[in-house]
Chain A
Amino acid sequence: MKHPSLVLFFVFFLSLLPACGSQGPQTLTILTHDSFAVSEELITVFEQENNVAVVFLAGGDTGAALNKAILSREAPLADIFYGVDNTFLSRALEADIFVPYESPLLAAIPDDFELDPQHRALPVDYGDVCINYDRAWFAERRLAIPAALVDLLQPEYTGLLVVENPATSSPGLAFLLATVAEFGPDGYLDFWAGLRDNGLVVVDDWETAYFTNFSASSGRGPQPLAVSYASSPAAEVIYADPPVDEAPTASLLAPGTCFRQIEFVGILRGTPNRDLAERFIDYMLDTRYQEDIPLQMFVYPVNQNAQLPPEFVQWAAVASEPAVLGPDLIAVHRDEWIAAWTEVVLR
């Protein structure tokens, strides 16, 4: 009985080894988060042009994937890390996991997105975290859509808003940062206390907020206002069944109500495939790849030359005046803001 299991054990152990050895053509490994997506064809083209095999690793949500990149910096898991956003950017830069690369394609990207002047992290896409609302719900009740964050404290909006816990959810954190930007580090807690007293609903993740609590989504929940992305209404049209002519939801885009998340890519320090990694980053920032981004990940390309798909033009929106907070400010205060928020809202 013991021998077969011993043999089995070693067979398994040995079977792991080839995976870490060299595998035929060169391999480019990209560590990313679970929400990453890309068209198959784009990767095939890159692989053929460069005679390389591209392997993707999903490391959990944004925070988890970044931590994996940081913890493995002595012996990097991958050549490239894509997916750190501006709320986590400072952590990545402080940990010094990236090497600088000034891609020629940065010329086509507005400077607003380039948060790291040393070009260790290069912007790839962005999206606005905004409050989504159930259009039919408000229309049926002839209730005005809130025009600013303070409106949410009004009695007519009691119990209508669901938000994500900023400690566990990336859009939740983004919305918290929007309120910090709007009301200032001294005033945002008062606003949240007001929200709490006005029947605020807090859940731990976007999936629950959107699919369970939000009244316009498939969960047909109780809240007609939910923190989501400005691109969500477009997704509701694209992924509707049967096809619809009109998005059931829309985003509040009033100035200061949305927070802009920018996602970055960087070359991991210690990669033996530096040259190849640079080529892939150029490929990512070029129009062809950039135009693929909206329908794959429901965010906007940073490259100004990229054309948006028609659904995005019609149903998705970009906040004209999103809340702005510097990544350094976020880095210093993020944990403190979340802790204070937790005290006020949850305890």
Chain B
Amino acid sequence: MKGIKDRGGRASDSLNQRFDAPLTRRIALWLPASLFLAVFFFYPLGHILTLSLDFSAITAGALGRSLSVLGFTLFQACLSTVLTLALGLPAAFLFARYRFAAKALLRTLTAIPFMLPTVVVAAGFNAWLGSRGWVNIALMRLFNLDSPPLVFGGTLGAILLAHVFYNTTIVVRVVGNALAHLDPRLEQAARTLGADPRRAFWRLTLPLLRPSLLASILLVFLFDFTSFGVILLLGGARFATLEVEIYLQAVQFFDLPLAAWLSLIQLLCTLAFSVVYSRAVTRTPGPSAPREATANLRRPQTLPQRLFVAGMAIFLFLFFIFPMLSLPVRSVARLEADRGERGQVRYGLTADYYAELFVNRSETLFYVPPLRALGNSLGYASLTVILSLGLGFPVAAALARPGPLERLLDPFLMLPLGASAVTLGLGFIVSFGRLLVSPWLVPLAHTLIALPFVIRSLQPALAAIPERLRQVAASLGAPPLRAWLVVDWPIIRRATLAAAVFAFTVSLGEFGATVLIARPEYPTLTTAIYRFLSRPGGLNYGQAMAMATILMLVTGAGILAIEKLRLPGSGEF
């Protein structure tokens, strides 16, 4: 072989070529999102922090308290993240590698919790695992116990379980998407070289998944780190994360200096995680050639594969369906009447709660028919999708071929996820005043939260586009936009849809409600549910469950439609 002149050409030149776009173009890519974040995030947040931060007001006791709160926040976030990965990774494998019956349905099922309001999820979990939940009732009957053996509400376990329930979909989407595009022959090569499946996973698949794994860990961790509703509703009064403590200090005690101090801690932690993350990601090797997602899909063949697929699918199904099932069940089941009408109980099925949704019984000004609430929800969600994709795409494109500018700015992108919603909400008040009256602010606030997701979902896909493919298209006479359509779009279509689903569900989950002034005339499904739940009475509870069921069905159908959506030219987007 000596003296052979290798004329094979550098096959991967263009793949790894650092794309040295001129700085002006990079700045142009960053401009829209930076402007957006500057106006709607950094300015209000900076405003409220400078207004209220007063280090002299932090007492030793407050310092000790903030440290212990920080300790618990980190502790539960780490534990929750580990557990979420423990369920999410096998689930991501299941979805990325195998074809099986009702797969799209199961995947939709795992995605629904992400957008359910905490109150509804808490109700679902309690109906399932609470002291009068099905599990406890069954155990009590089975073993003739007097008291429920399983304690759920107010435990750390409840917090962890709810976090896993909420965030597994992040791992499934982010890691699953990367996994689906991984070249299957790499793993096969490892197998032929003597690696058993376990070692092939640890030595090969895991390192190759590192960027997406880190991205999903960061997202899950940040969600757990800033957890609020789950801690309040399921953890009960004994547990406080930073976000809960900020809420207590800012809203209940009106101790703005302490709230600002805690917000600063939370923000700095978030920044630190983001810096660690972007360091770790840039050290990861360049992507190998992306695969059509279907290249990795097969029906389970061997017995262990069949056992894995069947076991995992059934486990996921049960894990997700039980807490969710209680909502539709309760929305058509009448259980209350016996209390007032002794002797003539009419248990049974009813459509009353749904019918009642269409009646403005108390003639209230803020009554909104369910379809309007649904329309508002979908409207806000669609705007959030458009806005976050529009802002996120250019940034993801810049990040896909990172230069010094990107390395500098990258960590700041995640900050909106780590900022305290309560503090930001107060920042909006001092910064925007009457501008807040506009309902347009709702999709803007949702975009703040959705943007990091969108960017993190798009970035790996955009980075995986071989530059030479676009060059080929250009050389074949395709103008830039056309080249983008025929080359980039098919490759990033799946990631774009994943990003859109994220933005959509983030918006439906209504994170913005706490941040902003709400306009009661424009309620979403979520605020409508809260409204029903804030009043006593079986009918209100039933209506809340009916509304939650509608939310679940509609959004589930939406996700399913996107999952099923197949555009010409690719097997599975």
Which residue of A19, A71, A213, A217 contacts B440 across the interface (Cβ within 8 Å)?
A19
Q: Does A91 contact B (CB under 8 A)?
A: yes
Interface size class of A (residues with CB under 8 A): 35 or more
Residue of A nearest to B40 (CB): A13
Q: Which of A50-58, A147-155, A184-192, A259-267 participates in binding chain B?
A: A50-58
Residue of B nearest to A229 (CB): B536
- A77-B517, A167-B248 known; A8 and B426 CB under 8 Å? no
Contacts A9-B32, A239-B538 known; list 13 others, CB within 8 Å: A34-B530, A57-B518, A59-B518, A77-B429, A136-B342, A201-B154, A206-B534, A218-B330, A218-B541, A240-B336, A240-B537, A241-B356, A346-B238
Q: Which of A38-46, A114-122, A277-285, A317-325 participates in binding chain B?
A: A38-46
- CB of A321, distance to nearest CB on chain B (Å): 24
Q: Does B390 contact A (CB under 8 A)?
A: yes
Are A77 and B437 interface neighbours, CB within 8 A? yes
Are A20 and B434 interface neighbours, CB within 8 A? yes
Are B339 and A216 interface neighbours, CB within 8 A? yes
B352 — which chain A residues lie within 8 A by C-beta? Answer: 241-242
A329 — which chain B residues lie within 8 A by C-beta? Answer: none
Q: Which of A99-107, A174-182, A245-253 participates in binding chain B?
A: A245-253
Q: Which of A208-262 contact B (CB under 8 A)?
A: 208, 210-213, 216-222, 228-229, 232, 235-242, 244-249
B356 — which chain A residues lie within 8 A by C-beta? Answer: 241
Are B536 and A40 interface neighbours, CB within 8 A? no
Q: Which residues of B contact A (CB under 8 A)?
A: 28-29, 31-32, 35-36, 39, 119, 122-123, 126-127, 130-132, 148, 153-154, 232-233, 236-238, 247-248, 250-255, 330, 334-342, 346, 350, 352-353, 356, 360, 362-367, 386-387, 390-391, 393-394, 397, 422, 425-426, 429-430, 433-441, 444, 484, 514, 517-521, 530-531, 533-542
Residue of A nearest to B488 (CB): A1
Are B29 and A2 interface neighbours, CB within 8 A? yes
18 contacts between A and B (CB under 8 A): A5-B394, A12-B387, A16-B438, A19-B440, A39-B365, A42-B365, A63-B252, A72-B429, A167-B248, A202-B154, A208-B153, A210-B536, A216-B339, A219-B127, A221-B130, A242-B352, A244-B337, A335-B255
How far is A13 from B148 in the complex, measured between Cα atoms in Å?
55
How far is A72 from B127 in the complex, measured between Cα atoms in Å?
42
Residue of B nearest to A18 (CB): B438
Are A72 and B394 interface neighbours, CB within 8 A? no
A328 — which chain B residues lie within 8 A by C-beta? Answer: none
How far is A167 from B240 in the complex, measured between Cα atoms in Å?
12
Q: Does A298 contact B (CB under 8 A)?
A: yes
- CB of A290, distance to nearest CB on chain B (Å): 16
Are B340 and A168 interface neighbours, CB within 8 A? no
How far is A41 from B251 in the complex, measured between Cα atoms in Å?
33
How far is A323 from B250 in the complex, measured between Cα atoms in Å?
28
Question: Secondary structure at chain B's binding surface: helix, strand, loop or mixed?
Answer: helix
Are A242 and B346 interface neighbours, CB within 8 A? yes
Are B393 and A71 interface neighbours, CB within 8 A? no
How far is A12 from B484 in the complex, measured between Cα atoms in Å?
26
B365 — which chain A residues lie within 8 A by C-beta? Answer: 37-40, 42-43, 56
How far is A168 from B339 in the complex, measured between Cα atoms in Å?
30
Which residue of B127, B390, B435 contacts A20 across the interface (Cβ within 8 Å)?
B435
How far is A102 from B504 in the complex, measured between Cα atoms in Å?
49
- A57-B517, A77-B434 known; A207 and B341 CB under 8 Å? no
How far is A160 from B340 in the complex, measured between Cα atoms in Å?
20
Are A204 and B236 interface neighbours, CB within 8 A? yes
Are B250 and A67 interface neighbours, CB within 8 A? yes
Q: Does A296 contact B (CB under 8 A)?
A: yes
How far is A217 from B340 in the complex, measured between Cα atoms in Å?
11
How far is A220 from B126 in the complex, measured between Cα atoms in Å?
10
Are B237 and A203 interface neighbours, CB within 8 A? yes
